[in-house]
């Protein structure tokens, strides 16, 4: 592959990243860096380059297994620095070794991709259990969370299956992004695009107080293990969890 001192930029979406990587493979170019356009900082040694892409993402998907693509997507959702390059080299080796690449942890890009993917998956799994909904105006259920990685899409897909007959909103506080579900489709919006009325009715507040009371009642003070509790429920999660509000 031809060495390149360019920083290849893309619009920040998963589909666009796959297209850029497909283009790099087709042109046999080895990038110095791949980065979201809004995050690029001027660098005389590595000028920006945005490929004019006419090929479809399916060109790459045709030769990559679903499992490899899922791992790559989870890396994309992470807050890892240089995640785009990690995905590039992981997919490059996937083309070479096919499904066997998943067993080749001796390759740095493979080991890194699998480790990051597992970390993202683990955080999403925890929030599937920790997320707390409350009913706001117009019988809409609302929940918010703060996560290290961009897992809103994973959570939205999960609760679309779990709560298909309800209308709900999930907010990623860290990124100020919301997912709105209307009993059929999910819509992703930035916080500045919508104003929410988070007022709760009296019945909902009473239910919350009953839940807190129940949580305290079933607890055995003599057996409380704060250290063990923190392993399962870190402090940064507690502000979004109803039964832990009084401890904040």
Task: Give the model confidence (pLDDT) of 129-187 as tens digits.
Answer: 889 888 888 888 999 999 999 999 999 999 999 999 999 999 999 999 999 999 999 99
Containing 25, the helix (H) or strand (E) segment is helix 14-27
Angle at 183 between CA 239 and CA 71, to 5 degrees: 65
What counts of helices (H) and strands (E) characterise the chain? 9, 10
Of the residues 72, 104, 122, which one is the last residue of a structural domain? 122
Do 213 and 187 share a domain, yes or no? no
Do 192 and 206 share a domain, yes or no? no
CA distance 71 to 168: 28
Do 14 and 82 share a domain, yes or no? yes
For residue range 30-83, list pLDDT tens digits in order.
998 999 988 887 776 677 788 877 766 556 778 899 999 999 999 999 999 999
Q: Which has more confidence, 124 or 209?
A: 124
Do 69 and 21 share a domain, yes or no? yes
Query: Helices (DSSP H) in the chain: which residue ranges?
Result: 14-27, 58-61, 66-76, 83-97, 108-130, 152-162, 202-218, 226-232, 235-238
pLDDT at 156: 97
Residue linked to tokens 């990038």? 31
DSSP for 72-101, please give it: HHHHHTS--TTHHHHHHHHHHHHHHHGGGG
Three-class SS state of 165:
coil
Do 93 and 31 share a domain, yes or no? yes
Domain count, the chain: 3
Do 111 and 146 share a domain, yes or no? no
Of the residues 200, 216, 231, which one is the last residue of a structural domain? 200
Do 114 and 141 share a domain, yes or no? no
Do 90 and 162 share a domain, yes or no? no
Note down the domain range covering 40: 2-122
């Amino acid at each position: 592959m031809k060495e390149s001192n360019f920083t290849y930029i893309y619009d920040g979406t998963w589909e666009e990243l796959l297209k850029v990587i497909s283009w790099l493979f087709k042109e046999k170019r080895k990038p110095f860096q791949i980065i979201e356009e809004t995050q690029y900082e001027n660098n005389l040694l590595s000028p920006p380059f945005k490929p004019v892409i006419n090929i479809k993402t399916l060109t790459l998907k045709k030769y990559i297994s679903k499992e490899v693509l899922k791992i790559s997507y989870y890396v994309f959702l992470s807050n890892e620095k240089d995640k785009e390059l990690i995905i590039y080299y992981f997919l490059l080796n996937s083309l070479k070794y096919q499904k066997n690449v998943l067993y080749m942890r001796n390759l740095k890009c493979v080991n890194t991709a699998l480790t990051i993917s597992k970390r993202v998956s683990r955080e999403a799994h925890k929030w599937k259990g920790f997320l707390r909904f409350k009913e706001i105006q117009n019988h809409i259920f609302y929940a918010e969370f703060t996560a290290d990685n961009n897992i809103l899409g994973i959570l939205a897909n999960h609760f679309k299956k779990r709560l298909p007959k309800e209308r709900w909103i999930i907010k990623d506080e860290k990124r100020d992004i919301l997912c709105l579900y209307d009993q059929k489709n999910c819509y992703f919006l930035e916080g500045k695009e919508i104003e929410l009325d988070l007022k709760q009715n009296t019945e909902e507040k009473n239910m919350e107080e009953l839940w807190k009371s129940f949580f305290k009642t079933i607890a055995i003070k003599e057996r409380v293990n704060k250290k063990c509790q923190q392993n399962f429920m870190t402090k940064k999660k507690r502000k979004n969890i109803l039964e832990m509000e009084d401890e904040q």
